[in-house]
Amino acid sequence: MTNETLAQFPEEAKNEDSAVVFGFWMYLMGDFILFAGLFATYAVLRNNTFGGPAGSAIFNLPFVLIETLVLLTSSFTCGLSLLAARKGEARRVVGWLIATVVLGLSFAALEISEFTRLVMAGNGPQRSGFLSAYFTLVEVHGLHVLIGCLWVVALIVAISIRGLTRSNMRKLALWSLFWHFLEIVWIFIFVIVYLLGVMYP
DSSP, collapsed to helix, strand or coil, labels residue 56 as helix
- Closest to 97 (Cα-Cα) out of 178, 172, 165: 172
Residues 41 and 133: beta-carbon distance below 8 Å = yes
Give the pLDDT confidence score for residue 8 in this predicted structure: 43
The alpha carbon dihedral of 128, 129, 134, 137 has a sign of positive
CATH: 1.25.40.10, 1.10.300.10, 1.20.120.80, 1.10.1060.10. Which one for 66-201? 1.20.120.80
| Kind plus residue range of the DSSP H or E element containing 102 | helix 90-120
CB burial class (10 A; 0-12, 13-18, 19+) of residue 132?
Answer: middle
Give the pLDDT confidence score for residue 13 in this predicted structure: 55
Residues 172 and 21: beta-carbon distance below 8 Å = no
Give the pLDDT confidence score for residue 11 in this predicted structure: 56
Residues 141 and 185: beta-carbon distance below 8 Å = yes
- Closest to 136 (Cα-Cα) out of 124, 145, 147: 124
Give the pLDDT confidence score for residue 9 in this predicted structure: 42
Give the pLDDT confidence score for residue 97 in this predicted structure: 98
CA angle in degrees (0–180, nearest 5) for 90-94-96: 115
Looking from the CA of 23 toward its CB, the CA atoms found within 13 Å total 8
- How far is 10 from 188, CA to CA, in rounded Å? 40
Residues 159 and 94: beta-carbon distance below 8 Å = yes
Q: What is the largest CA-CA distance in the chain?
A: 68
Looking from the CA of 16 toward its CB, the CA atoms found within 13 Å total 15
- How far is 195 from 99, CA to CA, in rounded Å? 28
Q: What is the mean pLDDT of each run of 10 residues along the chain (201 residues)?
A: 43 66 92 97 93 92 96 97 96 97 98 96 95 97 97 97 94 96 97 92 68
Looking from the CA of 150 toward its CB, the CA atoms found within 13 Å total 6
